[in-house]
Structure 1
Amino acid sequence: MYKLLLPLLLVSVSRLYAQSDQKPDSTARMLQEFIFTASRGEGIKRADAPLAISVISTKNLKDTRATSAEQLLNKISGVNMVTLGNEQHQMSIRQPMTTKSLFLYLEDGIPVRTTGLYNHNALLEMNLAATRTIEVIKGPSSALYGSEAIGGVVNFITLAPTEQPSLKLALQGNNIGYKRGDFSSTFTTGKLGFAIGGYYADKRNGFLDYTDFHKGIFTARMDYRFTERTTLSNSATWLNYYSDMTGTIDSSMFATHTFKNQQTFTYRKVKAFRYRSTLSHQWNNQSNSSLSVIYRNNSIGQNPAYRIKDDYRRQGNVYVGNKELAHGEINESSFNSYSLVAQHRLQLSWKRAVIIAGVSTDLSPSDYTAEYIRIKKDTLESKYVSYQAPDSLLSNYSTRLENMAGFVHLELSPVDPLRVVLSLRYDRFRYDYNNHLDGSAYSGAPDAVNRFSRVSPKIGLTYSFTQRVGVYANYSQGFVPPQVTEMYNGVKVPQLSPAVYDNYEAGAWFNSANGKMSADLSIYRLEGKNAVISVKLDDGSFANQNAGRTLHKGIEAGLKYNPWGDLSLRFSGAYNKHVFVDYVEKGVDFNGNEMNNAPNWLYNTEIICRPSFLPGFRIGAEWQHVGSYFADPANTDRYEGYDVLNLRAGFSFRSFDLWLNVLNATDEYYSVITSKSNFGYSYQLAEPVSFNVGIAYDFSPLFKHRK
């Protein structure tokens, strides 16, 4: 790995200095562009941020014409967003592919969900039609954003009002049942500015039966400028989502290419509303303040495929139970969230210092219910065909979650060109749990109150040799408190502590003087402790405990190269290793094993041609590689991974944009995530080749010529 990357670094640096007398192009100005996630919404230059951060630009969004977020995020080195179909997903950023609460998802710097109620599908609640850019921080950022910012932070930055009116419409669809319509518009009148955007997507009769879904999402933003120094920004997002829940297939189905879904009634439906109002005031050229009020309303109802268990099962050396019977549940998790964030930024002439400080509070009452269902199974077709819902509640509880925090962020330059960044945050949590049923093995723990607190530090530095070459290093700590389901879905409330991750990182970036080449490199070591795992007790029962240490380390590299004006190349790659250091789960010792679902190698490479003899035309090819990995923590079996080729072509003519995206162009047959347990293998099928055709029209030039 190092033998491959070091020559790349040396060659790039030599080219940089060999071409130092040439005029820099737009690529070389990348490090002078502003990013926002690295300093809580206050724009800073990329070269001043001592961390690994990547940006999906507005141009990337337009050229890709993505139907879901993984088609964008997987272009970033070290990111592997696993699609589970219909915008459902898992994530892997400096962590194995997982559903655990190790990633923080933001919209304009505000968490999409509240702490303690993480959902691995949270990005299906985002609105790509109203997204301007996406910023991704890799590694812990709890000192800036609090809990769950462990593997990374993904921040969707929405459209802002523009002086020049705009209106854009788009339609697209593919050969496997997907159809979608997008719209967006921005304009300003007097002191008022507006930006709206949304889309409706629908899929029916896909390649696999019972995989339909629909999603409607709409975002509206209104800015009002009281004076040149005082503004009020309001934004709201509405979501209505429904998807059939397909589940996975077993090893015999996967081996024989049997496209048969066992499910006929499982589903997931999400309704969400988010509102943010931010009052900003600039006291002078060196000082500004903001106050944000946030409200969230969210409910997820589901008849989950992963909760279905056959009654017929192996017990010792014999099988027992009814082959035509299975057990499942219908559940719903909902919450309301009321948050307040106050922040002040002060810029000093001394050492070019910048101080950002603030406080936040979040109150989120939540409810959870689960109802038992009795399922009939057709053994000949191997399908779950119907269910009955007896009057039997498995769970019915509410939890009042409170989080209060204070944070301070300091940047200064003791000597030029050294930049030092210090961040510190204190979080205090209170979970007030109320079980509406009598405590039992099925209904959960008795009433309880649990408290957690944590101080999260971060220190980093950057050193710029020139405007085009620099290095950085940082130490940061991330934490995640126990989730509500980990605390209270049991007979006893366990005494759990937050999981803590220590991150050590170094990196470099450079741009060639002629602007044709840019590259970045980061090396990290992430040590985790106090992970919440299920432990087998002496009496044979299981309980959640803080037990275990894990180690995550790797190297990430990105390269962009424009050999000539018509052609651009991009390489994003990472080598990671995730290891159980001290980990005993359910009585089994995994010490020294590699973590399951953790590919070592990840690549994403893209080539795009924009021929000068055909203005407005673009054509590109993208290759994604996910390396082999162990399917189980015991390291008994590997899945070979996969390679997938995506082709994209588009043509912009006047106000029209036409495109054709061929995803999985070679029609590879593979599983996006493969796992092994005591019940056997499970495979999540990838979609076959799809031809996505779209057309967009930009009405903005019509407004430009209006008098």
Structure 2
Amino acid sequence: MGADKIRALAALSCVWATSCSFAADADTILDQVTVTATREQARLVETPASVGVVKGADIAADKPSHPAEVMSQIPGAAVAVTNGEGHTTAIRQPFTTSPVYLFLEDGIPSRSTGFFNHNGLYEINIPQAGGIEVNRGPSSALYGSDAIGGVVNVLTRTPPRKAEAIGSVEIGEHGWRRALVSGGDGYENGGWRADLNFSATDGWRDDTGYDRKSATLRWDHFIGDSTSLKTVLGFSQIDQDTGANSPLVRDDYRHDPTRNYLPIAFRKVSALRLSTSYEHETENALLSITPYVRDNSMDLLASFALRFDPSIAETENRSYGLMAKWRQDFAPMRARLIAGIDVDMSPGGRRENRINPTTRGTGASQEFIAYTVGPRIYDYEVEYRGISPYIHGEISPTDRLRLTAGLRYDDMRYEFSNRFAPGAVQVGNSFYGQAADTSVSYHRATPKIGATYALGKDTHVFASYNQGFRAPSESQIFRPSRAGSLASARALAQSALELEAIKADQYELGLRGVLAGVSYDLVAYELTKRDDIVSQRDPVTTQTITTNAGKTRHRGIELGLGAPIRDGLRLDVAFSYARHEYVDWVTSQGDFGGNEQQSAPRVMSNTRLTWTPTSSARAQIEWIRIGSYWLDDENTEKYGGHSLFNFRGDLALTRSLSLFGSIHNLTDRRYAESAQLSTGRTPAYSPGLPRTVIAGVEAKW
């Protein structure tokens, strides 16, 4: 491969890596860069945003079996296991399944707005990723709807410059087995890479098996020295028994944690993404055009709905989209202007049937052991269309000061076609509201402004204001909750059609730098959500409706530290302290204004001590702390939180053969991945994985 092509491939690698330290020559190391905060390669110290990074090398070394094993390395970010690789996420929000996060792969949303999946990270091949960037807080000015709590951008690995192949196999307790295979090659004008992931487990709890097949294919090709093409194909097929997050009453949680009250629940997922990015770059300008297609489908018998709305559903959506942008740099004051447009057309549909479960026992420990499929309750097609132009500008009035501003306008529309007549479908004593064929639209302009200032060579401060929003998802609009009467079902269906977008405002102040060899990143923020969706009783009709009447406030500090203690020994800390409070939150269950939100720990931290005695050996101890949190909005019951200790290590036997292993929950602590008040306000806990050993071997050619 020619020298110019090698340099171009290195630059492209830097754009899509989580952080970069490539150089024009061996003696020069450039500053760390980020791509998520501006959708352009930018120096982190000149980015007025909280960007956390998990490097591709760390992912490859840790070989995570779940996204939770790497996400907590980012200050203010945590992921809790639900089942298999399913998860809830907490980034400047409580642990939640709500659509307040945007999941990307190489900058492209993994799903369309309106078809949000809170398990979005399991649709992406995390253990073979080239890195993860998390932009914490609202980012709608660049990315649109859902980007309130944060944007998680998973990056694909760059093709190698010469032929290589890597394969690993691993086994562990509870029937865990996985094979990871990767290979690629470079040529005169580019290179390609293929990553394959085959994972399976029997599950440590009863009836909680999981099977995954994933592939990521990437091809980079250069046309001359200024034009490049990058094609990425990602695919995942997942089959899992979702009772793994079955909450248990306290006695079973303590003494019989493998028990599963919800063995009939399952989730089957198929996700495909294909994109090609065309980039033409001149000395001062860049033109980028990225068409893409997505195909997502899921069969779901939801464990979380069995007690109040048992059903089985088939959902699917396909996406045809285009992301285009133009960037122009100007010599005066290092000015930069980026203008772009995102276009997304995503037709989809839902077919859902009520089920008749067979149960055993009563109350919070009731078991769901079998079911038969009952009548259909939803059957519709819905198409999401979005056109979103945006503009982003940067300027440096002085050498130390960098100013940024941006604005995005989202024009979004749902076209809905119902196979049922308007009104409601009755199944026994349950009623399901049905909307008539209709169009629902949302329009939103979201700005952002920010500034960075260099206090010194190694110290930088930043401040920013960002707005965010999320449009209601298709299920919130067209699949209202089960009701107890015909009038209630109609009221819920009508109120769902009238929902507006949730808005968010965030103020942020940060300090980052290096002091005595210790790198640090300290951020304070206040995020306020308005017009959140709550269930209330209509004072005129007395029917329960959904409406935009909630307001919450989220305040916190986040700290990241990296300290080389001595040769071969390093300490890394990710810490956050936050309060998540209801400001205005009146529902049909009561007024919770002034209370803390449930599932919202104040403290989250990850501390890692890594020892690398030689270049061929590594050992790491990790301490994860999740603080106490309320189980209910009334703030009457608490989960006490937990501390976990994990161990990871690897040893290179030869240049091509190495061993690796990990021990999760080293002290075999009983802890809860999630906790809440269940039937009859009984505390219930979803137990986390006990001490588990995994070992494997990796070969490189």
Same fold (TM over 0.5): yes
2:357 and 2:552 map into 1 onto residues whose CA distance is 39
Instruction: Give how far 1:443 is off.
Output: 5.0
Letter in 2 for 1:694: G
1:447 lines up with 2:437 in the alignment: yes
1:94-243 alignment to 2 at 5 Å? 94-204=92-202, 206-243=203-240
C-alpha contact 2:408 2:446 (8 A) present in aligned 1: yes
The 3 A distance-change label for structure 1 pair 691 and 30 is farther
Residue 517 of structure 1 deviates from its aligned partner by 1.2
Contact 1:560 1:568 in 2 (8 A): yes
Q: How much has 1:157 moved relative to structure 2?
A: 0.8
Structure 1 match to 2:658: 657
Give RMSD over aligned pairs.
1.8
Bigger Cα displacement from structure 2, 244-253 vs 552-561: 244-253
Shift of 1:604: 0.9
Contact in 2 for aligned 1:462/1:471 (Cα 8 Å):
yes
Identify the residue that residue 595 of structure 1 maps to in structure 2. Answer: 597
**Are the equivalent residues in 1 in contact too, given 2:63–2:127 (CA < 8 A)?**
no
From 408, 414, 434, the equivalent of 1:425 is 408
Within the candidate set 468, 482, 486, 2:458 is matched to: 468
Is the 2:59–2:128 Cα contact (8 Å) retained in structure 1? Answer: no
Q: Map of 1:33-432 to 2, 5 A cutoff?
A: 33-40=32-39, 42-204=40-202, 206-246=203-243, 247-282=246-281, 284-309=282-307, 328-379=310-361, 383-390=367-374, 392-432=375-415
Structure 1 counterpart SS, 2:635: coil
What per-residue deviation string (whole Å, max 9, x for no partner) do you get for residues 62-99 of structure 1? 33221121101111111111111210000000000000
Whichever residue aligns with residue 233 of structure 2, its letter is A
* Cα distance between partner residues in 1 of 2:583 and 2:574: 29
Question: Per-residue CA shift, 1:136-182, capped at 9, x if unaligned?
Answer: 11111111111111111110110122322221111112112110000
> Does the 8 A contact of 1:31 with 1:47 survive in 2?
no
Does 441-450 or 545-554 show the bigger shift?
Answer: 441-450
Task: Map residues 565-576 of structure 1 onto 2, 5 A cutoff.
Answer: 565-576=567-578
Contact 1:129-1:183 within 8 A present in 2 as well: no
The answer to whether the 8 Å contact 1:129/1:198 transfers is: no
CA contact (8 A) 2:254 2:670 kept: no
Q: State the Cα distance separating 1:448 from its structure 2 match.
A: 2.0
One of 509, 512, 518 as aligned partner of 2:512: 509
Name whichever of 109-118 and 125-134 sits farther off: 125-134
Report the Cα distance in structure 2 between the residues aligned to 1:544 and 1:573, rounded to whole angstroms: 36
Q: Deviations over 1:559-614 (max 9, x none)?
A: 111121121001111100011001112241001001111001111111011124xx
Task: State whether residues 76 and 558 of structure 2, in contact with CA within 8 Å, keep that contact through their aligned partners in structure 1.
Answer: yes
Contact kept? 1:194, 1:223, Cα under 8 Å: yes
Alignment partner of 1:499 out of 497, 502, 508: 502
Preserved contact between residue 344 and residue 356 of structure 1 (Cα < 8 Å): yes
- Give, in angstroms, the shift of residue 421 of structure 1: 0.9
1:536 aligned to 2:537? Answer: yes
Can you list the C-alpha shifts for 1:396-427, whole angstroms capped at 9, x where unaligned?
11111111100111111011110011111000
1:540 to partner: Cα distance: 4.7
Q: CA 1:521/1:543 → structure 2, altered by over 3 Å: closer, same or farther?
A: same
What displacement does 1:465 show?
2.2
Structure-1 separation of matches of 2:314 and 2:154: 27
* Cα distance change of structure 1 residues 191 and 363 upon mapping to structure 2, 3 Å threshold: same
Letter in 1 for 2:154: F
Deviates more, 1:677-686 or 1:343-352: 677-686
**Does the residue aligned with 1:599 lie in a helix, a strand or coil?**
coil
Q: Is the 8 A contact 1:161 1:195 kept in 2?
A: yes
- SS of 2:122 mapped into structure 1: helix
Secondary structure of the 2:434 match is: coil
> How far apart, in 2, do the equivalents of 1:99 and 1:179 lie?
28
Alpha-carbon distance in 1 for matches of 2:416, 2:217? 35
Distance 1:199 1:62, change over 3 A: same
CA spacing shift, 1:194–1:308, aligned 2, 3 Å: same
Distance 2:568 2:221 in 1: 42
C-alpha distance in 2 between matches for 1:177 and 1:482: 40
What letter corresponds to residue 647 of structure 1 in structure 2? F
Take 2:213 and 2:433, find their aligned partners in 1: how far apart are those partners? 35
Shift in Å, 1:228: 1.7
Residue of structure 1 equivalent to 2:4: none
Flag the 1:540–1:261 CA change in 2: closer, same or farther, 3 A. farther
Distance 1:620 1:129, change over 3 A: closer
Deviations 1:609-629 (A, max 9, x none): 1124xx411111100010001
Letter in structure 1 aligned against 2:463:
A
Identity, in percent, stands at 29
Contact residue 338 and residue 362 of structure 1 kept, 8 A:
yes
Q: CA deviation at 1:445?
A: 2.0
Counterpart position of 1:669: 670
Aligned to 1:313: none
C-alpha deviation, 1:547, in angstroms: 0.5
> More deviation in 348-357 or 654-663?
654-663
Give the distance between the partners of 1:570 and 1:635, measured in 2 at CA: 34
Q: Verify the 8 A CA contact 1:116 1:484 in the aligned structure 2.
A: yes
* CA distance, structure 1, for counterparts of residue 292 and residue 361 of structure 2: 50
> Judging changes above 3 Å, is the alpha-carbon distance between structure 1 residues 29 and 578 closer, same or farther for their aligned structure 2 residues?
farther
Mean Cα deviation higher: 30-39 or 656-665: 30-39
Distance in 1 (CA, whole Å) between partners of 2:624 and 2:413 is 43
Q: Note if contact 1:530-1:546 (Cα within 8 Å) is conserved in structure 2.
A: yes
Distance 2:28 2:621 in 1: 26
Distance 1:31-1:572 versus aligned 2 partners, 3 A rule: farther
- Unaligned ranges ≥5, structure 2: 1-26, 425-430, 481-489
Shift of 1:639: 0.7
In the TM superposition, what whole-angstrom CA distance separates every residue of 1:338-381 from its partner, at most 9, and x where no partner exists?
10111111111011011111111111111011111112223499
Q: CA deviation at 1:444?
A: 2.4
Match of 2:446 among 456, 460, 463: 456
Superposition TM-score, scaled by structure 1 size: 0.89
Which amino acid counterpart does residue 222 of structure 1 have in structure 2? W
Shifted more, 530-539 versus 104-113: the winner is: 530-539
Displacement of 1:253 in angstroms is 2.0
Cα deviation for residue 466 of structure 1 reads: 2.6
Count, aligned residues: 648
1:622 aligned residue: 622
Task: For residue 255 of structure 1, report the CA deviation from its aligned partner.
Answer: 4.2
User: Does the 8 Å CA contact 2:171/2:695 hold for their aligned counterparts?
Assistant: yes
Whole-angstrom CA distance in 2 between matches of 1:193 and 1:367: 38
The question of whether the paired residues in 1 share the 8 Å contact of 2:60 and 2:127 is answered with no
Task: Give how far 1:677 is off.
Answer: 4.6
**Structure-2 residue corresponding to 1:694:** 696
Q: Which residue in 1 is equivalent to 2:582? A: 580
508 and 418 in structure 1: CA distance in 2 versus 1, 3 angstrom threshold: same
Q: 1:456 to 1:231 in 2, by over 3 A?
A: same
| C-alpha distance in 1 between matches for 2:433 and 2:556 | 43
CA contact (8 A) 2:619 2:650 kept: yes
Q: Tell me which amino acid in the other structure corresponds to 1:267.
A: F
1:8 alignment partner in structure 2:
none
Per the normalisation by structure 2, the TM-score is: 0.90
**Which secondary structure does the structure 2 equivalent of 1:547 belong to?**
strand
